[in-house]
Structure 1
Amino acid sequence: MDQSFLLMLSNLLHLHNHLDPTSALLSDAHSPTSTSSSSTSSSLLTSSSDAQWRSSYGLSYPVFTTVVDKLKPYIAQSNLSLPSDYAVAMVLSRLTHGLSSKTLASRYSLEPYLISKITNMVTRLLATKLYPEFIKIPVSRRRLHETTQAFEELTSLPNMCGAIDSSPVKLHRLPSDYNPSTYRSRYGYPAVQLQVVADHKKIFWDVCVKGPGGIDDAAHLRDSLLYNRLTSGDVVWDKVINVRGHHVRPFIVGDWCYPLLSFLLTPFTWDRTGSPAQNEFDAALMKGRTVVEEAIGLLKGRWKILQDLNVGLNHAPQTIVACCVLHNLCQIAREPEPELWKEPEESGPPPRVVESEKSLYYIGDNLRHALADDLYQRLSR
């Protein structure tokens, strides 16, 4: 084992010890025989409790090992002379605590370029290799039935399969050659826009990061792959119910900043000034929306780097998506939920109806009225 690798390994051990001081350091870290990732893991990684692992890395040891095992084949193919568990541990500690590469470099005698290289590699793998496995549109009959049934229990609205929302992810610094007004979010800081759809378990089944912080929710949706798939009929949801003579397919719900469409229902009004039936529908819809608001709050609460994203703008989307993949892993494993990150209440005018959406709008409007009247009649019995 060359001396540069030994020095790198020693520095990473000091990094781990600082973040989780109760962990035992690897006794033979400087031994030339300690070359395997598995032997490193057995003596270091099993020495801490799950609570300590969550404090250091945002997730428990079993979930950590799942991430390592799934990324190990890809990390092994890289030219990085570093065990997979240490590469993943370093990146998770950075995502959890929001530490910058320069901060880590100054604290642990590591070169900033090395930290950035490892971060970029691991987040890219999470955002590409693990995304298809852990972020999936619910198209199977079993999952679709489970999701719509759970939302109906929560809202009394049938065939709801998700809730959509957007959140600006604050950028620590915007490159000087970028237009600040384009990236200025509705809260006044530079950001990139995150769009997610969540199910009743606060698990994301679609994630999109395509727009700067200054883009509105409707425009970001229309530029997303999800929108293209739903408008083109690429996503087929077979579960169809009849409500007052209308065929209602599974739909998602959003707030008044989103367009009303056949597959996306929004409130009648933003201030509950509609008819009694409309107000009941709006209240039910907003109950469904709480899952996605809480999911975003958990995402930013667990991965604090998203509160002030300190990576290069080119790597911002993959870092955000990687955190969404890790969020789903934690939700699937039923990890304890951290304190929610709170954002100010948003406001804004409803989006205009574009020509290409008129037929989808009229279908959505008819469905919304039918669901509102049906709900009001059931509640009035």
Structure 2
Amino acid sequence: MDQSFLLMLSNLLHLHNYLDPTTSPSFPPPLSPPPPPMPPPLPQPPSFSLPLPPSSPTSPHILQTKRTPNPPPPPPPPPRKTPSEFSVAAFRALSTEHIWAMEAPLRDAQWRSLYGLSYPVFTTVVEKLKPYITQSQLSLPSDYAVAMVLSRLSHGLSLKTLASRYALEPYLISKITNMVTRLLATKLYPEFIKIPVSRRRLVETTQGFQELTSLPNVCGAIDTTPVKLHKISPDMINGSMYVCKYGFPSVLLQVVADHKKIFWDVCVKAPGGYDDATHFRDSLLYNRLISGDIVWDKAVSVRGQPVRPYIVGDWCFPLLSFLLTPYSYNRTGNPAQNAFDEALMKGRKAVEEAIGLLKGRWKILQDLNVGLNHAPQTIVACCVLHNLCQIAREPEPELWKEPEENGQPPRVLENEKSCYYYGETLRQVLADDLYQRLSSR
């Protein structure tokens, strides 16, 4: 065979294997015309781009050679983290290092804005609760736990907001809140909420009310207020027992205050749908008064009638020997009766303002965002703190305005008839005496 033909056949087979290496060389494909020559491969772009001077030609060597870029400058160090405004470290720094370097008015104003009371009152609360908090083996410092709960009570913060602010789990916030409010409502209640049975305090209270009302021997003013519940189960709402007369779910708070707007009795025992008289009759105070367990010995004589200390309330409460109410809510009686009603309502103003201060200072009571089981102790804890602030003469915040109240006098129960008739006689004697004194001026 011609040598030139064999050489051409060998070249064709080699080219085919180069284009398709999977083809077995033992089965050469049929002969075919040689393919057209392949264009040269395009140069690969460089791994980085570098702008060249416009006057200088592009060098293939520069474009095709991979170069390592200059390492970027190291990032600046992160800013030094400062503790959160509400962290333990920040709280410690404020309360130990800086607090005494500040002027007292500025210091206490800052403390009130954060925790609802001045620094001296705050330290009083901490000192009284610290032994009990220490026994609970809480992992947080006692003063920090108290501060956290006070911030929730004074600002009405939710668990989620407080957990984010203090960088703690919501369940831990709830646990600490329940513990501190329970301690306030049980351990500090007997010390700061007391019935005025001592003669010195009783004289001070009755004299204070007499300056306000011109009525002798008033020792307290009683009123109720619904505390709105933020969350409540649908079945309770449908049952309407928790829906108060103003249309929102609530629990009923009953308080008795003195002339300084300090509570000397607190009761949270009924859903908001209860009326004032029913709630009062279910209270321990009523049972002690109706049974004679509490008898104030300081009696004065008015027109030959002995008058023992008594409480004043509005027309929603029952008229009794120890609780006097107005003749009417719209001053429709005779001149003596209207004068008595006006004087009595001046006394009631003390308890109305006390409730306004309570809800104005502890805003959580404007929309109570705790579980129903913990609602009573939270309310009572705020009442204890209110008394602490009043005793320490803390600045009074803007009053929370209660809705206007109206209603009919409650019916007289069988076991109350003797107290009711005595109360009628007592009220008439006081009305006639007051009217005569006012007319003789």
Q: Same fold, TM exceeding 0.5?
A: yes
2:86 corresponds, among 4, 9, 16, to: 16
Give 1:253-332 correspondences, 5 Å limit.
253-332=312-391
CA-CA distance at 1:25 after TM superposition = 5.6
- Count of aligned pairs: 355
RMSD of aligned residue pairs (Cα, Å): 1.9
Aligned to 2:199: 141
Q: Percent identity?
A: 77
TM-fit CA distance, 1:162: 0.5
Amino acid of the structure 2 residue aligned with 1:56: L
Gaps of 5+ in 1: 1-9, 28-39
2:410 aligned residue: 351
TM-score, normalised by the number of residues in structure 1: 0.90
1:168 to 216, 226, 229: 226
Secondary structure of 1:338's counterpart equals: coil
Residue matched to 2:186? 128
CA distance in structure 2 between the aligned counterparts of 1:328 and 1:317, rounded to whole angstroms: 17
CA shift at 1:46, angstroms?
4.3
Query: Relative to 1, partners in 2 of residues 1:26 and 1:244: Cα closer, same or farther, differing over 3 Å?
Result: closer
Which of the two has higher C-alpha Rg? 2
Instruction: Give me the whole-angstrom Cα distance separating, in 2, the residues matched to 1:236 and 1:263.
Output: 9
Structure 2 residue identity aligned to 1:128: T
Q: Among 191, 205, 226, which residue is 2:285 paired with?
A: 226
Comparing 363-372 and 168-177, the one that deviates more: 168-177
CA distance in 1, matches of 2:364, 2:127: 24
State the shift of 1:373 in Å: 0.4
Following TM superposition, by how much is the alpha carbon of 1:236 offset from its aligned partner in structure 2, in angstroms? 2.4
SS at match of 1:209: strand
Moved more, 45-54 or 356-365: 45-54
1:239 to partner: Cα distance = 0.2
- In the TM superposition, residue 118 of structure 1 has moved relative to its aligned partner by 0.3
Q: CA deviation at 1:104?
A: 1.5
Deviation per residue, 1:150-169 (Å, 9 max, x gap)? 11111110000010000000
Cα shift readout 1:325-355 (whole Å, capped 9, x = no counterpart): 0000000000000000001101111111111
Q: How does 1:1-381 map to 2 (within 5 A)?
A: 14=84, 16=86, 26=92, 41-43=95-97, 46=100, 49-180=107-238, 181-381=240-440
Contact 1:168 1:192 in 2 (8 A): yes
Structure 1 residues 106 and 339: CA distance shift in structure 2, 3 A: same
Q: Which piece of structure 1 moves more, 48-57 or 269-278?
A: 48-57
Counterparts of 1:167 and 1:47, CA distance in 2:
42
The one-letter code of the counterpart of 1:84 is S
Contact 1:41 1:85 in 2 (8 A): no
- Amino acid in the other structure paired with 1:16: F
Aligned to 1:33: none
Between 245-254 and 97-106, report the one with greater CA deviation.
97-106
Is the Cα–Cα contact under 8 Å of residues 26 and 44 in structure 1 kept in the other structure?
A: no
Query: Structure 2: which amino acid aligns with 1:358?
Result: K
SS of aligned partner of 1:90: helix
* Distance in 2 separating the partners of 1:119 and 1:311: 9
Distance 2:119 2:92 in 1: 17
Paired with 2:226 and 2:99, the residues of 1 have a C-alpha distance of 35
Give the distance between the partners of 1:54 and 1:320, measured in 2 at CA. Answer: 19
Higher helix share: 1
Moved >6 Å (runs of 4+): none
5+ long unaligned stretches in structure 2: 1-80
Work out the CA distance in 2 between the residues paired with 1:25 and 1:341: 30
Report how far residue 264 of structure 1 moved: 0.2
Give CA-to-partner distance per residue, 1:208-251, whole Å, 9 cap, x none. 00000000000000000000111111112110111122211000
Higher relative contact order structure (alpha carbons within 8 Å, sequence separation ≥ 6) = 1
Report the residue type matching 1:314 in the other structure. N
